[in-house]
Amino acid sequence: MEQTNGNGTRRVAVVTGGAMGIGADSAEQLARRGYRVVLADINKDAAEETAAALRRDDLSVSAAQMDVSSPESIAVAFETIAQTHERCDVLVNCAGIATLVPFIDYPLDTFLKTMQVNVTGTLLCAQHAARLMVRNRWGRIVNIASVAGMRVGDAAQELSVTHGAISRHIRSLEDNLGVLLLLRNAHSTEPTPEGARLADGLSRAFNLIQTSVEQVRPGPLTLSCSASIMMYWLLPRLGRLHRRHPGLEVGFNTGYDEVDFTRDNISVAIRLSTIRAPREIEPHPLVDEWVGPVCAPEYMRATRMTSVGDLERTRLLATNTRPAAWDDWYAAAGHAAARRPPVAESFEHFYLQIQAAKCGLGVANVPRMLVRGELDSGALVAPFGFVPGPRKLVLWVAPHLEARPQASALVEWLKDEFNQAEANALSS
């Protein structure tokens, strides 16, 4: 049924963030109810793709470029809408961003960007739309946002299809099964109990298929670890791995968080004991993580650092991935942290923090295993040595690969290398 105003003109709906997620779903629902819909999105190509998919169902949908963080982009987009359609009867503000970071570590620039998109952008879009609505004496503005709306969009991206295609396949599956699989509303897209059971069963089935294929046709192993471990610990030892197991094929993946072994195609992962292991994994213990302050020898001399109390007049360096590293070290070393200076500079990763310390920018608090080479060469010094920190290193092995001789060989080599490195460090 077409949505028209009093003189028979079809009403126009503008949906920001309409290329995917709840925005795309809202646009499709409006189009099926007879609105002429404009998908306004920062990603014009994605919006065009979603619009084209909906037009194949004979729906009136077009795409427009709009960056809701830019007042200029919003103004240009609504001017184009006014010239093309001469009206805006419905505005659905779906454009939004979300960055999941612990509250105490939330970067100011990320907060300001989020406010610019989610709040200021919503206000400006509503103002432009309202001016067109006043002109035609009718209008509706709906503001919705949800991180859950990204889920279907994530699936579409992973499968390299449009959001609309995912939505249509889900509806087709619901029709075939005769049950509702997803609850769709303005705030989220959540699975029904039937949908959750189906997803769980299919996930286990697909995992079983993947496991069976890999057991019949084993490929190269993939070892996952953090970029810092890769750079400072693993790469310098790869020659020994190749000499010990010349026929062993190993690829690499950088990561330090949770793992889906089947989806991510990971064989073995080096992780901290504080990271939650998948439910089917029994972690293999490696070594304790020893931590301590390090700096360039010139920086130590310039700051006359001879005791822990001297850290008060230094620049403390940290990483975003482990913001509590200094607190952990003070506690593990048994030093009072009451007079500890604040962190002067924080870096994205340990390898950047280590490089900053080598350049004389301050004192870094790092795991010993990452700076063994720099300590041996004299590029860095450890004024107060190292102590066992609150974390340990463990290995996770993909369950379907544990029986493979190649995986066992890699695991044993890693254990031997870690144990030998710790023995060398303790004896030096």
317 and 400 inside one domain: no
Which amino acid, 22?
A: I
pLDDT at 148: 45
Residue 198, in any domain of the structure: no
Is the same domain home to 314 and 262? no
Strand pairing class (284-294; 36-41): unpaired
249 and 316 housed in the same domain: no
Q: Quick one: pLDDT at residue 219?
A: 74
pLDDT in tens, the chain (428 residues): 555 555 557 899 999 999 887 888 889 989 999 999 999 999 999 999 999 999 998 999 999 999 999 999 999 999 999 999 999 999 999 988 877 667 777 788 888 888 998 899 999 999 999 999 999 899 999 988 544 444 555 555 555 555 566 677 788 888 888 888 877 654 456 788 888 888 888 877 776 776 666 666 667 899 999 999 999 999 999 999 999 999 999 999 999 888 888 778 899 999 999 999 988 899 999 999 999 999 999 999 999 999 999 999 999 999 998 999 999 999 999 887 556 788 999 998 999 999 999 999 999 999 999 999 999 999 999 999 999 999 999 999 998 888 889 999 999 999 999 999 988 887 76
- Give the per-residue pLDDT at 153: 54
CA distance linking residue 149 with residue 238, whole number of Å: 43
Instruction: Using alpha carbons, select from 164, 174, 186, 162 the residue that is nearest to residue 94.
Output: 186
55 and 151 together in one domain: yes
Residue 254 lies in a domain: yes
Please give the residue range of the domain that contains residue 358.
Answer: 290-391
pTM: 0.55
Same-domain check for residues 400 and 339: no
Are residues 276 and 325 located together in one domain of the fold?
no
Predicted confidence at residue 192, as pLDDT, reads 87
Write down which residue in 153, 172, 191 finishes a domain: 191
| 318 and 267 in a common domain | no
The verdict on 273 and 366 lying in the same domain is: no
CATH code of the domain covering residue 319: 3.40.190.10
CA distance 228 to 179: 48
Q: Residue 221: in which H helix or E strand, if any?
A: strand 221-225
Q: Is residue 384 located within the same domain as residue 245?
A: no
Claim to verify: residue 384 and residue 279 sit in the same structural domain: no
In a domain, 249, yes or no: yes
Structural domain includes residue 233: yes
Q: In the structure encoding, which two tokens stand for residue 42, read together? A: 């920062």
Residue 197 lies in a domain: no
Number of domains present in the structure of the chain: 3
The two beta strands, 316-319 and 221-225, are unpaired
Residues in contact with 270: Cβ distance below 8 Å, sequence separation at least 6, in sequence order: 223, 224, 225, 226, 229, 286, 393, 394, 395, 414
In a domain, 6, yes or no: no
**Do 136 and 223 lie in a common domain?**
no
Nearest in space to 92 (alpha carbons), one of 25, 46, 183? 25
Q: List Cα–Cα distances, 128 to 78, 86, 117, 121, 211, in angstroms.
A: 7, 13, 15, 11, 54
d(Cα 148, Cα 146) in Å, to the nearest integer? 5
Query: Which string of DSSP letters, residue by residue, matches 246-296?
Result: TT--EEEEE--S---HHHHT-SEEEEETTSPPPTT--PEEEEEEEEEEEB-
CATH number at residue 176: 3.40.50.720
Whether residue 203 lies inside any domain: the answer is no
Pair (247, 365) in one structural domain: no
How many Cβ atoms are within 10 Å of 11's Cβ, its own excluded? 23
Structural domain includes residue 201? no
Q: Give the chain's count of helices (H) and strands (E).
A: 16, 15
